[in-house]
A and B are shown apart, each in its own frame.
Chain A
Amino acid sequence: MANTHEIQFGEAAARASRAAEDLPDLQGEKMVLNMGPSHPSTHGVLRIILELDGETITKATPDVGYLHRGDEKIAENMTWNQFVPYTDRLDYLAPMANNVAYALAVEKLFGIQDKLPPRCQYIRTICCELSRISSHLLGIGCFAMDVGALTVFLLTFTEREKVYNLQEALTGARLTTSYTRIGGVARDLPPGWVEQCRKFLSEVVININEVATLLDRNRIWVDRTRDVGVIPKDVAIDYGLTGPNLRGSGVDFDLRKKQPYLIYKDLDFDVPLGSVGDCYDRYLVRMEEMRQSVNLVRQCLDKLPGGADNKSKEPVSIQDGKITLPPKGKVLSSMEELIHQFMIVTTGVNAPVGEVYFGHENPKGELGFYINSRGGGTPYRLKIRAPSFVNLSVLPYLLPGHLMSDTVSILGSLDFVMGECDR
């Protein structure tokens, strides 16, 4: 039989006075709040351990790794081309940009980056810039939704859907594109794709401007973002921030301009910079980058070698049997092509010995691959320098001193993806 205890309750007034005696101790106490790993504003599985004094954050400890899949370990056990699908799953909001970044890194190791056919380079540039538009649309949409502007989310997601349709027409998949191969791209543009893309570009600018009218001078939006999460220039560089987060702080660093790859040096575009480095600046930078990307895609479509339907049969891959797969018809009829196909599929493209680092301006920042090769068809070590991982490392500096509710604005403005952060 359970014991029963009689509890004596004092008068309500007596209890209140007793509570007041305890209160001074309570006021000095800090509360530890566990935010995430499943919180709507953490966009995935980021966990932040916040130490709060009332509403004010006094300490923030991010905890990452919930989505760790061991991509780098997996890469050591597969051929160069086999790893392309895994790059889709890094920043899964811009899979085509990851594909291109990885392919360029491996091609740098092979020393064939300059030998890519012009049409391939144009197509890859279009892919990167479409990814940038798609990623920023999501970034701004979710950012706005997290601080209460739901309409923006609906607008940007409608546009993103069209990018997915373009990706589907181009690669056969909406999300997991796996479009690049070492030495080229998987296939040429399908018929009608260029017109579909132009139509999208003319529609997306209208919606970008619509978003701007909804947010730019919106009192609530400005109050929630201006002077919140200010990252000074030197701190941004010290923490290794890249992409819009760095440029929002006013650092003129864009790999497309500083270390041009593909055809960026032939294209005309501006790099928007912020002045304060707060959440509002990062929002403005992303908005302008989308407009610049629309222009870039237009320029690429205009100059595309071979034109929309590629009547002149411009190649989209390097024509070298030791690097790219030969045409299937020849594999079945010619000995040399059969051997090339067999070698590429079974042992992988044979890499030289050496180590390279290639940084690519992804929508979220600098996506870099450090490749250490000892020859053969697999990397000896493939390190992925993920922009989201590095961008999140600024949180212990950035969050303290802000209100609890500012966390949502700051996380939204940093625009990270955990798939890439945790790898």
Chain B
Amino acid sequence: MATSLELAQQLKAKFGDLISEPAEFRGELTVTIADAQRIGEVAAFCKAELGFDYLVDASGVDNYGEDPRWSLAYELFSTTKNVYLRLKTHVSEEKGELPTVSNVWRTADWHEREVYDMMGVRFIGHPDLRRILMWEGYPYHPLRKDFPLAGKPTELPEVAFSKTTPMEGGPFVTVSGGKDSAAREPRIRIPED
């Protein structure tokens, strides 16, 4: 039975420079796709040829202050070969979008909606790209690093909890640095102001 390393090498053999050398950490293999706009064909190949029939998870990471700002991690699993593989790709803040893989794995539909909701990364060709956890019309993307833990006030009328929560939800860990405690507490810090 093929190991995930062999499958990753097959993937590299097929796509060449688009796919990075597989990186191993704690027994998990990660391959990075250089061009996020080609995620669709890579995903389709992974499912059809390599047998990764189960998309476990898709998550977005905000590398705030770095370029490219967004990282996407797709956790693949093959139920027949019993191996994992992680696909990673990066999207710049200006671009802010990449093709959907929901046409490859239907489970990606909700995962991508969640990434869009929380990070604001858009998925081209997604059948129904709406917010999923936050409500329709909410103006921010809460898992962005520049969104404060306490929340931000919104202008939406008739929406509860549109103010920040000064006494709730933190601080849990203060940020180290030479500032006084008020400046270090996440609940008060509003980076965009």
Check A366 for interface membership: any CB of B closer than 8 A.
yes
Contact across chains for A357 and B54 when beta carbons are under 8 A apart: no
Contacts A108-B26, A359-B56 given: A79-B173 contact, CB under 8 Å? yes
Q: How many residues of B contact A (CB 8 A)?
A: 43
Kindly specify which of A63-71, A140-148, A187-195, A325-333 makes contact with the partner chain. A63-71
Task: For chain A, residues 173 to 208, give those with C-beta under 8 angstroms from any C-beta of chain B.
Answer: none
Contact across chains for A68 and B133 when beta carbons are under 8 A apart: yes
Task: For chain B, residues 70 to 102, give those with C-beta under 8 angstroms from any C-beta of chain A.
Answer: 71, 73, 75, 79, 82, 84, 86
In whole angstroms, how far apart are the Cα atoms of A385 and B75 in the complex? 10
Contacts A77-B186, A385-B56 given: A357-B173 contact, CB under 8 Å? no
- Cβ contact of B134, chosen from A65, A238, A356, A383, cutoff 8 A: A65
Contact across chains for B106 and A238 when beta carbons are under 8 A apart: yes
Contact across chains for B142 and A64 when beta carbons are under 8 A apart: no
In whole angstroms, how far apart are the Cα atoms of A393 and B118 in the complex? 18
A109–chain B nearest beta-carbon distance, Å: 7
- Cβ contact of A74, chosen from B82, B147, B169, cutoff 8 A: B169
Check A237 for interface membership: any CB of B closer than 8 A.
yes
Q: How many residues of A contact B (CB 8 A)?
A: 45
Contacts A73-B142, A381-B62 given: A237-B28 contact, CB under 8 Å? no
Contact across chains for A377 and B26 when beta carbons are under 8 A apart: no
In whole angstroms, how far apart are the Cα atoms of A72 and B84 in the complex? 23
Contact across chains for A381 and B61 when beta carbons are under 8 A apart: yes
Contacts A77-B186, A111-B26, A356-B25 given: A378-B173 contact, CB under 8 Å? yes
Contact across chains for A393 and B107 when beta carbons are under 8 A apart: yes
Contacts of B147 in A (CB 8 A): 73
In whole angstroms, how far apart are the Cα atoms of A68 and B142 in the complex? 11
Give the one of B107, B114, B149, B176 with max A CB within 10 A.
B107
Contact across chains for A357 and B61 when beta carbons are under 8 A apart: no
Contacts of A378 in B (CB 8 A): 173
Contact across chains for B56 and A355 when beta carbons are under 8 A apart: no
A366–chain B nearest beta-carbon distance, Å: 7
Contact across chains for B59 and A370 when beta carbons are under 8 A apart: yes
B163-182 interface bits toward A, Cβ cutoff 8 Å, 1 = contact, 0 = none: 00000011111001000000
Contacts of B111 in A (CB 8 A): 390
- Cβ contact of A393, chosen from B110, B133, B186, cutoff 8 A: B110
> What residue in chain B is nearest A109 (Cβ atoms)?
B26
Check A399 for interface membership: any CB of B closer than 8 A.
no
Contacts of B109 in A (CB 8 A): 393
Chain B residues within 8 Å of A, Cβ to Cβ: 25-26, 28, 30, 53-57, 59, 61-62, 71, 73, 75, 79, 82, 84, 86, 105-107, 109-111, 114, 118, 131-135, 142-143, 147, 149, 169-173, 176, 186
8 CB contacts below 8 A, A to B, read A65-B132, A237-B54, A238-B105, A239-B107, A357-B86, A359-B56, A370-B57, A370-B73
Additional A-B contact list (9), CB under 8 Å, known A109-B26, A370-B73: A74-B149, A77-B149, A82-B172, A240-B105, A258-B82, A259-B82, A355-B73, A383-B57, A390-B111
